[in-house]
Amino acid sequence: MRIGILGAGNMADALGTQWLRAGHDIMVSGRDPMASAALAQKMTTAAHRPGPIASGPDHAYAQAALGQPGLASPEPDVAHARAGTWAEAAEYGEVVMVAVTEAGLHDVLRAAGPAMSDKPVIDVTNAVGPGAYDVTRSLAELIAESTGGHVVKAFNLCHVDVWRMTPPVFDGRPLAVPLCGDDERALAATRTLVTDLGCTPLYAGALNRAKLLEATAAFMIGLWITGADAQAILPPLDHSGAHPTT
């Protein structure tokens, strides 16, 4: 699929490079056209080095949902990254990822224009800095209201270095990526991109639960910054009470 990325920073680099390896075409966009072009070249070069390509059972389903052939293993040598303006990236992508700072979010969405309306939109943003998170609002819902896109909140719980791993597996267990969204087509596309990283997609509820996912990021990042092992605060599944059978 074609992925337009609003942003030309570390998250665009890490996730975009992995998706290039999986056979998706990428357009990045940023405030500095020369820096965006340099990033696109760097990503393409990195993606064409030998490396594993992840796949998963959701891949063919998501391709069909996007109206594309069900290719279980896209050819990585045909994928490449390019650079464009905010509006060009929003227009280019069959799926658009928002990967800019909260401070610049309004300006970027305005510059991107109406092209994200009715498209799958992946929001990876977090409010960062002391007191930056506001429990009364959700950045994901703001993006949905501003663009008319079908937003899925995802990829916001991990440091960028995790997304550079091929794949992110810890103690033999693939990383689970929670997804919050309302639109099945957008969720299906996001599941594909999660499994292409070698991770496990985990549906975490409707878009109105994105504020909880954003709050979790704010809380966990605060612990990690102090050097705490934030993962240690959660017991294993076997010790977390009764669970409904499936």
Residue 29: pLDDT over 80: yes
pLDDT of 63: 45
Task: Report if residue 57 sits inside a domain.
Answer: yes
pLDDT of 111: 97
Q: How far apart are CA 30 and CA 88, in angstroms?
A: 11
Task: Report if residue 246 sits inside a domain.
Answer: no
Give yes or no for a contact between 17 and 107, defined as CB atoms under 8 angstroms apart.
no
Closest CA to 168 of 195, 203, 202: 195
Task: Report if residue 241 sits inside a domain.
Answer: no
The pTM (predicted TM-score) of the whole model is: 0.86
Work out the burial of residue 129: count CB atoms within 10 Å of its CB; fewer than 13 is exposed, 13-18 middle, 19 or more buried: exposed
* Domain count along the chain: 1
Q: How far apart are CA 11 and CA 128, in angstroms?
A: 14
Question: Could you tell me the two tokens for 171?
Answer: 């103690």
Task: Report if residue 243 sits inside a domain.
Answer: no
* Parent domain of 107: 2-233
For the chain, give me the number of helices (H) and strands (E)?
9, 10
Give yes or no for a contact between 143 and 127, defined as CB atoms under 8 angstroms apart.
no
Q: How far apart are CA 135 and CA 159, in angstroms?
A: 22
> Over the stretch 123-146, which tens digit does the pLDDT of each residue have?
999 887 656 666 677 899 999 999
Task: Report if residue 238 sits inside a domain.
Answer: no
* Crossing angle of the two packed helices 105-112 and 139-147, in degrees rounded to 10: 20
Binned at pLDDT 50, 70 and 90, residue 170 comes out as very high
> Over the stretch 39-84, which tens digit does the pLDDT of each residue have?
999 999 998 876 544 444 444 434 444 444 333 334 445 589 999 9
With the CA atoms of 147, 150, 154 and 160 taken in that order, what torsion angle do they form, in degrees rounded to the nearest 10?
-40
Give yes or no for a contact between 176 and 202, defined as CB atoms under 8 angstroms apart.
yes
What is the CATH number for 65? Answer: 3.40.50.720
